[in-house]
C-alpha cells in the first residue's frame, strides 16, 4: 500500500505563510517555534502559579515544549520512559525550582509522547503497541486519572486545558474499532494513523463533555511547529 503525504493544513493568522512546503525543513526552515508563540502571545512569565504536565519530554518536540512552558513561569512536570535521558535532554532547565514543586493544582496537560510506525507488536494487555503504549489508551487513562484535578483547578479567568499532539497521519486510517490491532493485515503506518484518529475523536468528546465546565481539549498537528 502506498501512503501519500498531502499538503499541510493551512494555518490562519500570523503564521500562515510559514507553513508551506517550500519553507519547511532544510536551510531557511521558517516554522514557528514554541518559544516564539509564547512571546507573541504575551504570556512569557505570566503563568506563575499554574501547573503544566507534559508527557514524552526526553526527545523531539517534547524538549522544546518543556522549554516553552517553562518560559511562561508555570510549574512544569514531565514524564519520560528514561529518567536519565530526560535529565540529559533538558539539562539546566531542571535546575529551576518551579520544575519540582507542586501547588496541589494542575492547569494544563500536554499529551506529547508517541511512537510511530512500529513493528507488529502487542502490549501485555493485548493491544497493538501504538494504540496503547503512548498514542491513545495510555493518554486516555492519564486524563481519566487527572480529570477531577483539572476541573478543580479551572477558574473563570483560566480554563484548564488538555492538548493532544495528533497528526495529519490520521488521514491514513480511520479508528478501526472492528480490528483495532490490525490482526492479519498489519501495517505500521496504518496503525499509527488509526491511533491518531482516536486522538482526534477523544479530544472532540472531552471538549463536548467538559468544555462547559471550563476544561478545554484540543488537538495539535505536530509537524507545523518546531
**What's the whole-number average pLDDT of the chain?**
80
pLDDT of residue 68: 92
Report residue 215's pLDDT band, with 50, 70 and 90 as the boundaries: very high
| Mean pLDDT in residue range 73-85 | 76
Q: 43-224 has which CATH code?
A: 3.40.50.720
Domain boundaries in the chain?
43-224
State the greatest distance between any 2 C-alpha atoms of the chain, in Å, as a whole number. 52
Interacting residues of 220 by C-beta distance below 8 A, sequence separation 6+? 163, 164, 165, 166
Average pLDDT over residues 96-119: 77
Q: 145-201: per-residue pLDDT in tens?
A: 889 989 999 999 999 999 998 777 777 888 888 898 889 999 989 988 888 898 889
For residue 203, give the H/E element and its range.
Answer: helix 188-210
Taking the alpha carbons at both ends of the chain, their separation in whole angstroms is 30
Quote the pTM value: 0.79
Region at 27 (left for phi over 0; alpha for psi -120 to 50; beta for the rest): beta
Amino acid at each position: 500500500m502506498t501512503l501519500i503525504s498531502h499538503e499541510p493544513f493551512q494555518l490562519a493568522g500570523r503564521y500562515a505563510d510559514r507553513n508551506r512546503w517550500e519553507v519547511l525543513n532544510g536551510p531557511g526552515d521558517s516554522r514557528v517555534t514554541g518559544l516564539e508563540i509564547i512571546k507573541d502571545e504575551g504570556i512569557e512569565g505570566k503563568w506563575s502559579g499554574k501547573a503544566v504536565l507534559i508527557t514524552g519530554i526526553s526527545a523531539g518536540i517534547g524538549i522544546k515544549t518543556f522549554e516553552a512552558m517553562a518560559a511562561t513561569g508555570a510549574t512544569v512536570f514531565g514524564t519520560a520512559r528514561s529518567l536519565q535521558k530526560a535529565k540529559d535532554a533538558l539539562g539546566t532547565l531542571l535546575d529551576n525550582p518551579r520544575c519540582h514543586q507542586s501547588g496541589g493544582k494542575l492547569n494544563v496537560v500536554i499529551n506529547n509522547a508517541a511512537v510511530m510506525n512500529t513493528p507488529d507488536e502487542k502490549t501485555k494487555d493485548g493491544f497493538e503497541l501504538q494504540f496503547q503504549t503512548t498514542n491513545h489508551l495510555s493518554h486516555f487513562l492519564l486524563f481519566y486519572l487527572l480529570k477531577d484535578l483539572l476541573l478543580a483547578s479551572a477558574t473563570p479567568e483560566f480554563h484548564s486545558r488538555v492538548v493532544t499532539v495528533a497528526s495529519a497521519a490520521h488521514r491514513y486510517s480511520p479508528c478501526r474499532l472492528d480490528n483495532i490491532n490490525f490482526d492479519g493485515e498489519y501495517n505500521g503506518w496504518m496503525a499509527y494513523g488509526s491511533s491518531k484518529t482516536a486522538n482526534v475523536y477523544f479530544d472532540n468528546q472531552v471538549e463536548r463533555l467538559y468544555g462547559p465546565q471550563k476544561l478545554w481539549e484540543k488537538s495539535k498537528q505536530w509537524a507545523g511547529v518546531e
